[in-house]
Amino acid sequence: MNMTARFYAILIGITLLLTGWNFAHYQLEQIEQTQLTDLVSYPIYAYVSDTTKVSPLLKELKALPEIAKVKHDTGSAAGLELVQSYNLPVSDEMLSDFRFPDVITIHLQPTNAARLAKPMVTDILRRNLSEIDIDAQSTVWTKTEQQLKAMHRGKIIFTVLIAVLLLLVFVYSRLSLELRILVLQKRKLVSVVDILRYKNKLTSHSLALFFSPLLVSAALYFIPVYYGWILLWGKNFLLPWWLFATQAGVLLLGTVMITIASHLMDHDNRYHRDEIQVEFAPEPKVPEPDPEDSL
């Protein structure tokens, strides 16, 4: 395989690794989003006996961007809905004898920001209502939040491991290519033109291997999502911006390491080619016989 074919093989390999990284991280984000959607399907209920508190409370809650929907049911409507939902044997006359509190139902957005803003919502309710009048679905929320935190830790560990793997593959594959080029150069007389040509090739390799895999892998994600090709990725931009920043950082670190190593190898190749010398000790001479001894 010649040098050009090796370079494009490395380029394609790095691009495939980045695309696979995006796909695997997308699956983790999709699982997390599913859990968030399931979590916010359990709304927060507030029971308000004093109807004068309903209007200011609704105004304060609707001002929060983390809240997707706030529903208000009057006491009579809430009582009728309760009777119909559970098919209770209660007539309208019997129902009119009861006094039900107004019910405020709060649905949060299916986002991490909304999940973290839940304590702020409950604090607003506690300033206006007693604790017994608030149903925050605490048991379900606590269990699901523990799962989400465990998944977030796993996602960080996965990102670190994949980043280290990509860095190792990038450095060793690129280093083998540059070392092979230097070995081929060493077989011939290296002129100033050859040195400049090698430096230009090193720069072009660095730029191509840094920008091309990033741009191609990002395009393979953003273009299908933008145009709604659900079979490939879905319809939501689930990958966070820091994932692409991490990938760029890994490739940048690898590029810097390769550039330093290549310059050191090139320097040794041009200025220290005769540094190692092997000398053989001369064979001991056999003393010639003295003519006087023969007499």
Q: What is the pLDDT of residues 226-236, one digit of tens each?
A: 887 766 666 67
Reading the block at residue 102, the tokens are 């107004």
| Predicted TM-score of the model (pTM) | 0.71
Q: Which residues contact 56 (CB under 8 A, 6 or more apart)?
A: 128
The secondary structure of residue 8, as a DSSP letter, is H
Query: What digits encode the pLDDT tens for the residues 71-105?
Result: 887 766 665 665 566 555 555 555 555 667 888 88
Would the pLDDT of 128 be above 70? yes
Please indicate, yes or no, whether residues 155 and 267 belong to a single structural domain of this protein: yes
Please indicate, yes or no, whether residues 17 and 163 belong to a single structural domain of this protein: yes
Domain-embedded: residue 141? no
Would the pLDDT of 159 be above 80? yes
DSSP 3-state of 228: coil
pLDDT at position 226: 80
- Cα–Cα distance between 134 and 137 in angstroms, integer? 9
Query: What digits encode the pLDDT tens for the residues 102-125?
Result: 888 899 998 888 888 899 999 999
pLDDT at position 281: 53
Domain boundary among 89, 108, 136: 136
Please indicate, yes or no, whether residues 47 and 86 belong to a single structural domain of this protein: yes
Q: How many domains does the chain have?
A: 2
199/41: higher pLDDT: 41
Please indicate, yes or no, whether residues 122 and 215 belong to a single structural domain of this protein: no
Contact 123, 41 (CB under 8 A): no
Q: Which residues contact 290 (CB under 8 A, 6 or more apart)?
A: none
Where does the chain show beta strands of DSSP type E? 44-48, 67-73, 102-108, 134-135
pLDDT at position 278: 44
Please indicate, yes or no, whether residues 131 and 261 belong to a single structural domain of this protein: no
Distance of CA 76 to the CA centre of its chain: 50
pLDDT at position 163: 95
Where does 15-165 show beta strands of DSSP type E? 44-48, 67-73, 102-108, 134-135
- Cα–Cα distance between 207 and 83 in angstroms, integer? 70
Please indicate, yes or no, whether residues 87 and 125 belong to a single structural domain of this protein: yes
Domain-embedded: residue 283? no
Domain-embedded: residue 200? yes
Domain-embedded: residue 290? no
Q: Measured between alpha carbons, how far is residue 269 from residues 124, 242, 261 in Å?
A: 72, 40, 12
CATH number of the domain residue 132 falls in: 3.30.70
Domain boundary among 117, 136, 155: 136
Domain-embedded: residue 184? yes
Domain of 54 in residue numbering reads as 43-136
User: 13 pLDDT band (50/70/90 cuts)?
Assistant: very high
